[in-house]
Amino acid sequence: MPYDIKSRAGLAPLAVILIVAGVAVVVGGGLYTWGRYLRVQPVPSIEITSPAGTDTWTVGSTHTIAWTAKNVPPGNKISIAIRRIPPPPLPAEGQEFDPLIFTNLENTGSADWTISDMYPTGTYILEVNSYASVPVTNPITAESAPFAITRGQIIGGQKDAHGCLPAAGYSWCGAKQACVRPWEEYCTAATPKTAMFTCADSKTISATFYPTDDKYVDLVLSDGRKLSVPRAISASGARYATADESFVFWNKGDTAFITENGTTTFSNCAAAAQSGTQFTNPSGGYGFDYPPVWKAAINRYNNSNSLFGPDANSASGLGGVEVFPGQTSIDKFLGGVAAQYDSKINIAVDGVTAVRVHYKSSAISGTEVVLLKDGKIFNIYINSEKSEDISLFDQLVSTFKFVR
């Protein structure tokens, strides 16, 4: 005997599908089945809330891509892709940029995106996909409203195509794949070597040398100044000076001093022992030397991991070492991390090829060095943008060793 679904269930007229077990009807937002009771099986969905259809985003600027997920399985990952809407007449299939923006993101509902200069001015659509695993099958997909990407004039605090702030003196360093101030940091691909000098009157000097490209030394002084000083002629030791000789940094062995306008301003400077304090993590199979102003401890939650920094303990630290077994590729490892990378330099650590990168996520940013050895990723990181912290971090990394 047929049912009058509208009168019995209080619903608008519906498309009815007869099946052996009963009746199934489709309503926007769910699949309803008629058996003993009217039951709903929620349909997963995603809605992109940013960008909006009226948005215009500029190359070099950072914006938040935002979405709302409903009934999506909690373990699903998120990928975000982009495509350009070509103006008529439509060109041949294909595009001049990488369509993938992010992969393997957690489903947090948002991701910050710095728009690179690979995207020409035009109208675009973002696609957010939720999926259970790779290779991706049956993704839950949503598209944004069309929005514009443009190349605007750089003014004030606006970033350039590489995300640098020209108004603040930053420019793109291709060798380091990072934004630098030329008077503060030498643009070179050479591996840095940092020494810490303790001077009279409680002053300090952090000096970063580039042994294979010894044209500049980068200094961070205890009074807050940062300078990149060119190498100058010297009869003995290493001498770095500005063109007018108003600032001179002298270094011979483990000693150093600075003169400014003929007056010694940093005197009796002695380098801290390069070995620092030795630390070994037997479970992780590695060790390193940390500087005197830092501490180091084995992570209480995973004894293969370690933490270090000014006030590090077994539960927290400014940086640390993480070990990830079952890995086959550094690129695959980085691709599975919900962060943006704007720097990537190949270096060697204890004879093993490594990658030094700058990272930025929604909550933190900093520098990490990633190594792959014996099927394990060793991720050495520091959650800081301060030059003095990065200098100490580089010093620690230079002493990193694998132990048996």
Domain shared by 109 and 138, yes or no: yes
- Among residues 192, 97, 109, the alpha carbon closest in space to that of 149 is found at 97
Domain shared by 31 and 52, yes or no: no
Q: Is residue 160 part of a domain?
A: no
- Among residues 272, 228, 223, the alpha carbon closest in space to that of 249 is found at 228
> Of 27-31, 236-240, 312-316, 354-358, where does the model show the most confidence?
312-316
pLDDT single digits (tens) 200-243: 887 888 888 998 999 999 998 888 788 899 998 877 778 999 88
Using an 8 Å Cβ cutoff, are 111 and 340 in contact?
no
What spatial distance separates the first Cα and last Cα of the chain, rounded to whole Å?
78
- Residue range 305-323: average pLDDT? 94
d(CA 38, CA 157): 58
Domain shared by 37 and 71, yes or no: no
Q: Is residue 159 part of a domain?
A: no
Give the domain CATH number at 133.
2.60.40.10
User: With bands split at pLDDT 50, 70 and 90, how would you rate the model's confidence at 267?
Assistant: very high
Domain boundary among 271, 293, 320: 271
Q: What is the pLDDT of residue 36?
A: 42
Between 10-14, 166-170, 318-322, the lowest mean confidence (pLDDT) is in 10-14
d(CA 338, CA 227): 34
Q: What is the pLDDT of residue 98?
A: 58
Q: Is residue 164 part of a domain?
A: no
Q: What is the dihedral of CA 338, 343, 347, 352, to 10 degrees?
A: 10
- Residue range 15-22: average pLDDT? 41
Domain shared by 315 and 248, yes or no: no
Domain boundary among 271, 289, 319: 271
Domain shared by 84 and 139, yes or no: yes
User: With bands split at pLDDT 50, 70 and 90, how would you rate the model's confidence at 197?
Assistant: confident
Q: 42: exposed, middle or buried (C-beta count within 10 Å: 0-12, 13-18, 19+)?
A: exposed
Q: Is residue 162 part of a domain?
A: no
Domain shared by 390 and 281, yes or no: yes
Give the domain CATH number at 298.
3.40.1000.10
Domain shared by 320 and 377, yes or no: yes
d(CA 192, CA 182): 16
Higher pLDDT, 42 or 69: 69
Using an 8 Å Cβ cutoff, are 121 and 31 in contact?
no
Whether the pLDDT of residue 76 is over 80: the answer is: yes
DSSP 8-class letter at 87: P
Q: Is residue 170 part of a domain?
A: no
Q: What is the pTM of this model?
A: 0.40
Q: Residue 25 sits in which domain range?
A: 5-43
Q: Specify the number of domains making up the chain.
A: 4
Using an 8 Å Cβ cutoff, are 367 and 192 in contact?
no
Domain shared by 262 and 359, yes or no: no
d(CA 352, CA 368): 15
Q: Share the mean pLDDT of the chain.
A: 80
Using an 8 Å Cβ cutoff, are 120 and 87 in contact?
no
Q: What is the pLDDT of residue 29?
A: 47
Contacts 24+ apart (CB under 8 A), 301-310: 305/281, 306/279, 306/281, 308/279, 308/396, 309/382
Domain shared by 284 and 394, yes or no: yes
Q: Is residue 163 part of a domain?
A: no
pLDDT single digits (tens) 330-351: 888 887 765 677 767 777 788 7
Domain boundary among 271, 297, 329: 271
Domain shared by 371 and 388, yes or no: yes
Give the domain CATH number at 217.
2.40.128.200
d(CA 334, CA 344): 11
Domain shared by 389 and 286, yes or no: yes
Q: Is residue 318 part of a domain?
A: yes
Q: What is the pLDDT of residue 107?
A: 93
- Among residues 384, 357, 383, 377, the alpha carbon closest in space to that of 368 is found at 357
Domain shared by 393 and 358, yes or no: yes
DSSP 8-class letter at 363: S
User: With bands split at pLDDT 50, 70 and 90, how would you rate the model's confidence at 253?
Assistant: confident
Q: Is residue 169 part of a domain?
A: no
